């Protein structure tokens, strides 16, 4: 690996800016992506937190949804946080009937699970593959993962409280997703893990 990997951030809506900063800190060269031609040359992509229904609509309007779906199918590594996790899920519960995802991870997520049922919350989360102690998870009207297929590795579950045991971080191949937003707490370890996934795939 001679140069930093180029990682895009889907910047149609949501907290893309925080991800651009976190990716650059983790050693990537990041840039926003809104249009299909901006997918060219990417080594990976981040799907940010925000509102998955709005991102879905805007992705269709900008003509980027189908090319992005195709790129994911072809193996483009991706990391989705919160709304981005929903976009990477093959199946979604509590979504409007016309909402579609990009898919890629064989899992069912429940939208707004923390917001509706047990309120948005913050708490420590131990994430497999992240060294140096638990992460501080910020869950904002976040999804949780209801069930995963055999090829999906569960990286973290909620440890205590009403949502104890719920899956909040997963990986399937070079696709990574978290219910929480590491980009808002300044803890770069999930972005570092994603940059390693991208680099490992290239070498």
Q: Give catalytic status of residue 191 as yes or no.
A: no
183 is catalytic: yes
Active-site pick, 19, 38, 181, 192: 181
- CB atoms inside a 10 Å sphere around CB 149: 12
Residue 86 near residue 118 (C-beta atoms within 8 A): no
Closest to 34 (Cα-Cα) out of 6, 8, 7, 54: 8
83 counts as binding ligand GLN under rule CB under 6 A: yes
Work out how close the CB of 4 gets to ligand GLN at its nearest, in angstroms, rounded to a whole number.
27
Under 8 Å between Cβ of 192 and 72: no
Separation CA 76–CA 93 (nearest Å) = 25
Tell whether residue 82 is a contact of ligand GLN (CB under 6 A).
Answer: yes
For ligand GLN, the closer CB: 126 or 141: 141
Nearest residue to 25 (alpha-carbon basis) of 138, 187, 198, 169? 187
Q: Provide, rounded to whole angstroms, the least separation between the CB of residue 53 and ligand GLN.
A: 6
Is 82 designated active site? yes
Considering only residues 50, 77, 137, 182, which one is a binding residue for ligand GLN as defined by CB under 6 A?
A: 50
Residue ranges that bind ligand GLN, judged by CB under 6 A: 49-52, 82-83, 86, 111-112, 140-142
């Amino acid at each position: 690996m001679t140069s930093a990997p180029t990682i895009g951030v889907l910047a149609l809506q949501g907290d893309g800016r925080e991800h651009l900063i976190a990716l650059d800190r983790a050693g990537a060269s990041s840039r926003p992506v809104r249009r299909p031609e901006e997918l060219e040359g990417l080594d990976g992509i981040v799907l940010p937190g925000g509102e998955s229904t709005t991102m879905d609509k805007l992705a269709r309007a900008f003509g980027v949804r189908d090319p992005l779906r195709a790129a994911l199918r072809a193996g483009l590594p991706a990391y989705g946080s919160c709304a981005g996790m929903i976009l990477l899920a093959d199946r979604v519960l509590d979504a409007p009937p016309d909402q579609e995802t990009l898919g890629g991870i064989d899992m069912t997520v429940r939208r707004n699970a923390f917001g509706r049922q047990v309120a948005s919350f913050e708490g420590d989360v131990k994430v497999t593959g992240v060294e140096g102690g638990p992460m501080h998870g910020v869950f904002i009207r976040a999804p949780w993962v209801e069930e995963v297929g055999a090829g999906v590795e569960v990286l973290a579950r909620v440890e205590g409280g009403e949502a104890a045991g719920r899956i909040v971080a997963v990986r399937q191949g070079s696709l990574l997703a978290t219910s929480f937003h590491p980009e808002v707490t300044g803890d770069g370890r999930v972005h570092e893990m994603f940059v390693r996934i991208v680099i490992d795939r290239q070498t």
